[in-house]
A = this chain, B = another copy of it.
Amino acid sequence: MDRPSTHQVPEGTVAAPSAGVEAVPAPTHAECARTIVAGANRGSLSTLAAEPAGYPFGSVVTYALDGDGAPLFFVSLMAEHTHNAERDPRASLLVAEAVADGDDPLAAGRVTLIGDLGRVPGAEVAGVRARYLAANPNAGYYIDFGDFAFYRLALRAVRYVGGYGRMSWVDARAFADAEADPLAPVAAGIVGHMNDDHADALVLVCRHQGGRPDTVQATMTGVDRYGFEVTASSPAGAGRLRLGFPRPVTTSEEVRSALVAMVRQARRLSAEAPPRS
């Protein structure tokens, strides 16, 4: 189950800054997977059809997560996937990061959660109902209909794909224990702010802390609790790199402090060793 894959497609993977530098802290694949699943409420459920017999059947579902990341569904008892699950509980839920029209969906992250679908026991319904409604306000108008029921997907295996060439099987226990990135809800705002207002600071940081002294232009492409990713351009071309925060951060304010400290240090280094450009 634990076979990593690599293949001969162009690398979309974030590289360590440069040889000889210690590994840059980054989320585990379990954390990446949990972040994607926690950041959405809709996905594709695969179940096993009765007719044509045994064919995998994909359908659209909305979901919530219970405390250990297992998906919770509220489904019509008349729906195909519910009939299928009652006959055979084997199922998977595919959740993909949102991708803008025209962007390549194969470069974005997605997760397949594989497990067994089972009806939520009566004693747990009240708690599950509250979680489900919090994640799916649209369900409010049919949440009390009689011909719907709650199901949970008890996880057996998790497949994570971060984009081209970045994928692995994730241990189901590690996924259950992983925390979604606390910065995910604010990451886009931070990235936009840095690129709009602090592009020069990003260049300095790439030059002096990212091992790319020739950087002339830099664009932040992502941020998480452990660090951030940048596309850095130099006369030699553009490349992606990852920089780590001095310690993990959990709020926008902590990101701001960490970046201010990094830029301050880069300015000091810059004064000592001005860039070659």
Chain A residues engaging chain B, CB cutoff 8 angstroms: 1, 5, 7-10, 42-49, 51-52, 54-60, 62, 76, 78-80, 90-94, 96, 98-99, 101, 104-106, 108, 110, 112, 114, 138, 141-142, 145-147, 156-157, 159, 161
Q: How far is the CB of A13 from chain B (nearest CB, A)?
A: 15
Smallest CB gap from A78: residue in B: B7
Q: Are A59 and B90 CB-contacts (below 8 A) given A51-B1, A52-B157, A145-B9?
A: no
Distance of A57 Cα from B90 Cα, bound (Å): 10
Contact B90 A138 (CB under 8 A): no
Distance of A45 Cα from B46 Cα, bound (Å): 9
Contact partner of A59 (CB less than 8 A), chosen from B104, B108, B112, B157, is: B112
Smallest CB gap from A103: residue in B: B138
Contact A62 B106 (CB under 8 A): yes
Smallest CB gap from A137: residue in B: B102
Distance of A50 Cα from B213 Cα, bound (Å): 48
Contact B55 A90 (CB under 8 A): yes
Distance of A47 Cα from B112 Cα, bound (Å): 12
Contact partner of A90 (CB less than 8 A), chosen from B54, B110, B145, is: B54
Distance of A82 Cα from B109 Cα, bound (Å): 19
Q: Are A58 and B105 CB-contacts (below 8 A) given A8-B147, A10-B141, A157-B52?
A: no
Contact B114 A57 (CB under 8 A): yes
Q: Please give 20 more A-B residue pairs, beta carbons under 8 A apart, in addition to A8-B145, A45-B58, A59-B94.
A: A5-B79, A7-B147, A10-B141, A44-B58, A46-B46, A46-B56, A46-B57, A46-B58, A47-B56, A48-B56, A49-B114, A52-B90, A52-B157, A58-B92, A58-B93, A60-B110, A60-B161, A62-B104, A62-B105, A104-B138
Distance of A62 Cα from B96 Cα, bound (Å): 13
Contact B52 A114 (CB under 8 A): yes
Distance of A112 Cα from B58 Cα, bound (Å): 6
